[in-house]
């Protein structure tokens, strides 16, 4: 039992990331009818927002350490972040420590801007083009974005730690009444899951309870009719694209302490997120979330020693395998709507 709970917990953080990316993908597909292969790059840009912010916070200048000399007898210097000068040493240190969560505030406007520019500058010219063209142009864009990041940040993963307060692990098993030390779980993963749940809830609430969301949902169901009602659907869809970008970006920001960001993380997640969208059902928001978590957890189960011993390599292929089976038995995916790219 505890082993099962541990695997479910382990699957949650990856599942959360899949769900958040897939949510944006399917939102874009449902509203704009565009297959966005650059969505993984948005996730990656989000992660690098966190990297950038933590670097900005750490910008330092050299100051002399009075009364000390190094071994050559020269006056000793040390680097002091500007932020210490502005906010005092303890607040400054706290800000640096909390740079990942703070990056959320930084990432939201950046990601919305990136999304809107992407939609207005490129995607909108591809609404009427075949899906193959959309895939190809966004694929090209994804390459460009990741190469730009690679140029400025290098090819190596950049460790970006969580705040000290969430750094360790805790004995989740003991809290649930299992034997101690059976389920050890890092704090940050729990934070990530809670954050993902919050964002998903917010997106659904936004679509469910606001007029804007209602129009978007109506547009997803029948774009032409909504357009005929005299509602400027395009403008809303642009904003929707920005929001989807923000969701992916935030997923990336918060993921940095779990996996040090590198320039190809977007592509790695994209392929899997696409599979998630297809399994969940193209254009279905609940489907994307459900499939994201289901596949994340399945992947985690498949990585168990006991499972790998029976079927070697299953952890590598489980997601693709499930996707193939789902696509062949339920062409619409788990919760796909009728008539949306069925054939």
Binding residues for other proteins (CB under 8 A):
35, 122, 125, 130-133, 135-137, 139-144, 147-148, 150-151, 267, 271, 274-275, 278, 282, 312-313, 316-317, 320-321, 323-324, 327-328, 331, 341, 343
The residues, any chain, with a CB within 8 Å of residue 71's CB and separated by 6 or more, are: none
Kindly list the distances between the CA atom of residue 176 and the CA atoms of 5, 237, 273, in Å, as whole numbers in the listed order.
10, 44, 32
The least distance separating other proteins from the CB of residue 152, rounded to whole angstroms, comes to: 9
Using CA atoms, how far apart are residues 174 and 161, in angstroms rounded to an integer? Answer: 26
Using CA atoms, how far apart are residues 312 and 283, in angstroms rounded to an integer? Answer: 34
The least distance separating other proteins from the CB of residue 290, rounded to whole angstroms, comes to: 18
The least distance separating other proteins from the CB of residue 130, rounded to whole angstroms, comes to: 8
Query: 214 or 317: whose CB is closer to other proteins?
Result: 317
The residues, any chain, with a CB within 8 Å of residue 286's CB and separated by 6 or more, are: 280, 335
Residue with tokens 């949510």: 23
Query: 76 or 264: whose CB is closer to other proteins?
Result: 264
The least distance separating other proteins from the CB of residue 69, rounded to whole angstroms, comes to: 39
Q: Which two tokens stand for residue 213?
A: 């969301």
Query: 91 or 316: whose CB is closer to other proteins?
Result: 316
Kindly list the distances between the CA atom of residue 312 and the CA atoms of 268, 304, 308, 318, in Å, as whole numbers in the listed order.
22, 11, 5, 11
The least distance separating other proteins from the CB of residue 315, rounded to whole angstroms, comes to: 9
Determine contact, residues 204/225, Cβ cutoff 8 Å: no
Query: 39 or 189: whose CB is closer to other proteins?
Result: 39
Query: 239 or 307: whose CB is closer to other proteins?
Result: 307
């Amino acid at each position: 039992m505890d082993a099962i709970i541990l695997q479910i917990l382990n699957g949650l953080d990856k599942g959360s990331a899949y769900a958040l990316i897939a949510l944006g993908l399917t939102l874009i597909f449902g509203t704009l009818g565009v297959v966005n292969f650059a969505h993984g790059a948005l996730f990656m840009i989000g992660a690098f927002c966190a990297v950038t912010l933590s670097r900005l916070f750490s910008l330092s200048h050299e100051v002399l350490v009075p009364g000390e000399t190094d071994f050559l007898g020269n006056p000793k210097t040390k680097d002091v972040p500007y932020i210490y000068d502005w906010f005092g040493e303890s607040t400054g240190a706290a800000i640096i420590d909390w740079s990942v969560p703070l990056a959320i505030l930084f990432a939201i406007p950046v990601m919305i801007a990136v999304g809107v520019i992407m939609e207005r500058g490129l995607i909108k010219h591809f609404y009427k083009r075949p899906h193959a063209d959309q895939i190809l142009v966004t694929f090209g864009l994804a390459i460009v974005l990741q190469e730009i990041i690679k140029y400025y940040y290098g090819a190596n993963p950049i460790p970006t730690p969580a705040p000290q307060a969430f750094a360790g692990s805790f004995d989740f098993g003991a809290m649930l009444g299992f034997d101690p030390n059976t389920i050890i779980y890092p704090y940050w993963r729990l934070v990530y899951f809670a954050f993902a749940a919050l964002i998903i809830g917010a997106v659904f609430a936004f679509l469910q309870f606001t007029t804007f969301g209602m129009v978007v949902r109506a547009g997803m169901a029948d774009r032409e009719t909504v357009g005929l009602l005299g509602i400027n659907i395009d403008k809303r869809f642009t904003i929707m694209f920005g929001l989807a970008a923000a969701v992916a970006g935030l997923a990336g920001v918060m993921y940095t302490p779990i996996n040090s960001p590198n320039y190809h993380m977007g592509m790695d997640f994209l392929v899997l997120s696409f599979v998630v969208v297809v399994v969940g059902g193209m254009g279905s928001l609940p489907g994307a979330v459900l499939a994201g978590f289901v596949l994340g957890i399945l992947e985690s189960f498949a990585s168990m020693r006991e499972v790998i011993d029976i079927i070697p390599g299953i952890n590598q292929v489980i997601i693709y395998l499930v996707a193939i089976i789902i696509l062949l038995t339920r062409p619409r995916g788990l919760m796909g709507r009728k008539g949306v790219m069925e054939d």
